[in-house]
Structure 1
Amino acid sequence: MAEIYDLIVIGTGSVGSSTGYYAAKRGLRVLEIDSATPPHTNGSHHGETRMIRHAYGEGSSYVPLVLRAQELWNELKKDTQVDIFHQTGVLNIAPKQSSFLNNIITSAEKYELPIEVYDAFQARKKWPQFTIPDQFKAVLEKNSGYLKSELAIDTYVKEAKRLGAHEQFNTQVISVDNDENGSVHVTTNEGIFIGKSAVITVGTWVKDLIPNLPIQPVRKVVSWFEAPKQLAEETGFPAFTIQLGDGTQYYGFPANKGLIKIGRHQGGQYITKREERLDFNALKEDKTEISSLLNSVLKTVGNLDHGVACSYDLSPDEHFIIDDLPGKKNIQFVSGLSGHGFKFASVLGEILVAKALNETLDFDLSPFLLSRFNS
């Protein structure tokens, strides 16, 4: 007789590895499936680091989620003694009238989060590494910082296995469906696996399994540049987001080992097939997409050292989709993380496990339901 799992996790990347860990921690019989062996470079979680901000410029609906996410990241770091979270602070720089910056201030006021607001003169004095125009201002979130993304996933996977989770890596999922009793059948190239429930957290290529989702895969790149010592983490330089006057948003991390990582939030190339996610430097704009930032607000950065390509699963409004699979039983999915999802991986995993157990949630997920796109 086939083994029946309490929860099958399909896609063991950012959210999936978290889900597997928290399910195993709750004593569930868990199967983790992935097309490769996580962590890997096929999805969105590689590239060493991801930022975590609390006073969220993308909207206050995210703040309760990210605060719980931070608690869980702290717990994971404490329980495993793995150096996952670095509290460097996050400095947000933008024009005074920026809605992104003002959303940060509004969220901080609503949730009583510690921030420090600086005009351009004050910010230039405190952080001379930046060339900040007079019509800009800056907001420091001193309790924020960055997460080591690949290390976090590696930790989740190892801890889940230690707690008894089963692994089925390097396995391609073909379909996910219910039988007449509501059990979930996951058909793969290695056979069929049966669970009482399942979660689909496969990232960019989710439409292979859920074809009608309004998700657009996007090829993105991120770059590392040579950096002087004044941009280094050990000197107190923070992680940062910068919005230029034209609305373009950039993000970056304090330098380590002489290199600083910087990316652009917007842009990228819409893709429809995996082979279209070309390696870094395949397109001429890969090397130049940070130029506007380096020629204006962040002039202290040196030459390009290297870059990598990854991909986003972009929703129409760039907000998450967290829901049950329409027309199916006991199958949940998370998609549309749109380039700002990793920081939430911990809390999303906890939520998916609670939903699988039919527990009452502490969060309002109504802003993230698929039905918002029905109109």
Structure 2
Amino acid sequence: MKYDLAIVGCGSVGAAAGYYAALSGLKVLMLDSHTPPHRHGSHHGDTRIIRHAYGEGEKYVPLVLRAQELWNKLEEVSAVQLFHRSGVLNIGPSSSEFMRNAENSASQFGLTVEKMDAEQLQKRWPEWSVPDGYIGLLEPNAGYLKAELAVGILNEKAAEAGAELHFNCQVDAITPEDNGVKITTSEGEFSASRVAVTAGTWVKALLPELPINPVRKVFSWYQADGRYSENNKFPAFTVETPEGDQFYGFPYNNDGLKLGKHNGGQPITAPEQRRPFGSNTQDGSEVFGFLRQFLPGVGVCLHGEVCTYDVSPDEDFILDSLPHSPQISVVTGLSGHGFKFATVLGEIIALQAAGQPVPFDLSPFKISRF
């Protein structure tokens, strides 16, 4: 049997691609070396922020607005809440490029954003302590997604739509052929007209030519109370420190206040180097300095997790077909800010596989820029 589309990696983007491609009537094969949702990639840890006024650049805004529409639609068809409109508060120096990009994105696309100075911010949320010269940009229509729940539902919906799922199936090779692609796996060989590689951190094991660097990252939960909760209108947040470090966090729930440092981490080259939380001495203390300066009322570290980023040289996405093999498309280099886009990236893969036009400018995300 020859499939119209094979998907290698069924985490967030791959699961969405399988769902939308199967919905469109394509014969879809979905392959993953584990059983998603799982803890071996980048989608675990319960929650992921979704922002619209995008500090990483205005080129992302049309994509994330479509992604939000698709997340909302997925909630409707699954009757499960995946998106929490907690609001997202971006905090940084008034001179910050990230903050300037977020403000420009809001202006260009007519997004609702409330700007405030340090004094106004602290009056509204006394839990915060921010330096003079800082500003806050609150996106009331943004929030966070339930990540593992979403991945599970997308894979379930893909199966319901007719996709064929093979989990715990290691993919060993992807070989271009004249009329498609051969995929060699632990379960044998499969044939497809087109393959989408959404394999996350270890994509270079299959496509070593890609300019991707895997990075070990940690995130952790800290002792907090109801002041920091969604019920108390405490939003999800991003913060840029005076030193240029970037932190993010989520409203408190019963597991504590979840926090992480976006930049930094440990470069790795093999899965065994992705050691458990606490293996590195700085794991448990990575956010202490940030907490002392910005959220001094938050307590001790309760527990933590490890994930990995697939980082491109410029930390922008790679959304492209391979130059020498146009039947092989890749979504990689998500660089720690990709989960929110999973639905739209999956839709793009499905459109390409069906030979349909893609209604977005993907030129900034081409491999050729490197």
Structures share fold, TM-score greater than 0.5: yes
Aligned pair partner of 2:123 in 112, 122, 125: 125
> Residue in 1 aligned with 2:71?
73
Q: Which amino acid aligns with 2:156?
A: K
Alpha-carbon separation, structure 2, partners of 1:329 and 1:129: 52
> Residue in 2 aligned with 1:30?
28
> Residue in 1 aligned with 2:81?
83
1:189 equivalent in alignment to 2:186: yes
Residue-by-residue CA offset, 1:201-220 (whole Å, 9 max, x unaligned): 00000001111111100000
> Residue in 2 aligned with 1:274?
271
> Residue in 2 aligned with 1:357?
354
Worse-superposed segment, 67-76 or 170-179 = 170-179
Q: Which amino acid aligns with 1:134?
A: D
Alpha-carbon separation, structure 1, partners of 2:5 and 2:357: 18
SS at match of 2:90: strand
Aligned pair partner of 1:41 in 16, 39, 42: 39
Alpha-carbon separation, structure 2, partners of 1:158 and 1:337: 24
Q: How does 1:160-171 map onto structure 2 within 5 Å?
A: 160-171=158-169
Residue-by-residue CA offset, 1:132-185 (whole Å, 9 max, x unaligned): 2222110000100000110000000111111111111101111112223x2211
SS at match of 2:172: strand
Displacement after TM superposition at 1:68 (Å): 0.4
> Residue in 1 aligned with 2:207?
210
| Cα pair 1:218 1:314 within 8 Å, conserved | yes
| Cα pair 2:86 2:144 within 8 Å, conserved | yes
Displacement after TM superposition at 1:226 (Å): 1.1
Displacement after TM superposition at 1:312 (Å): 0.3
Alpha-carbon separation, structure 2, partners of 1:59 and 1:137: 18
> Residue in 2 aligned with 1:56?
54
| Cα pair 1:228 1:258 within 8 Å, conserved | no
1:201 equivalent in alignment to 2:209: no
| Cα pair 1:224 1:259 within 8 Å, conserved | yes
Q: Which amino acid aligns with 1:38?
A: P
> Residue in 2 aligned with 1:337?
334
What's the TM-score once normalised by structure 2's chain length? 0.99
Displacement after TM superposition at 1:258 (Å): 5.1
SS at match of 2:289: helix
Residue-by-residue CA offset, 1:82-105 (whole Å, 9 max, x unaligned): 111000000011111111111110
Alpha-carbon separation, structure 2, partners of 1:335 and 1:194: 22
SS at match of 1:286: coil
Q: 1:188 to 1:210 in 2, by over 3 A?
A: same
Q: How does 1:241-280 map onto structure 2 within 5 Å?
A: 241-257=238-254, 259-280=256-277
Alpha-carbon separation, structure 2, partners of 1:183 and 1:212: 20
| Cα pair 1:228 1:302 within 8 Å, conserved | no
Q: How does 1:140-151 map onto structure 2 within 5 Å?
A: 140-151=138-149
SS at match of 1:67: helix
SS at match of 1:285: coil
> Residue in 2 aligned with 1:219?
216
SS at match of 2:369: helix
| Cα pair 2:221 2:255 within 8 Å, conserved | no
Alpha-carbon separation, structure 1, partners of 2:338 and 2:191: 29
> Residue in 1 aligned with 2:292?
295
Q: Which amino acid aligns with 1:150?
A: E
What's the TM-score once normalised by structure 1's chain length? 0.97
Alpha-carbon separation, structure 2, partners of 1:172 and 1:160: 20
| Cα pair 1:177 1:328 within 8 Å, conserved | no
Q: Which segments of 5 or more consecutive residues in structure 2 lack a partner in the other structure?
A: none
Aligned pair partner of 2:311 in 309, 314, 334: 314
Alpha-carbon separation, structure 2, partners of 1:73 and 1:218: 28
Residue-by-residue CA offset, 1:22-59 (whole Å, 9 max, x unaligned): 01111111111000011001100001000000000000
RMSD: 0.8
Displacement after TM superposition at 1:257 (Å): 1.1
Displacement after TM superposition at 1:235 (Å): 1.4
| Cα pair 2:21 2:353 within 8 Å, conserved | no
Alpha-carbon separation, structure 2, partners of 1:276 and 1:322: 27
Alpha-carbon separation, structure 2, partners of 1:300 and 1:25: 48
SS at match of 2:36: coil
Q: How does 1:319-330 map onto structure 2 within 5 Å?
A: 319-330=316-327
Structure 1 ranges of 4+ moved more than 3 A:
none
> Residue in 1 aligned with 2:175?
177
Alpha-carbon separation, structure 2, partners of 1:24 and 1:38: 18
Q: Which amino acid aligns with 1:247?
A: G
> Residue in 2 aligned with 1:16?
14
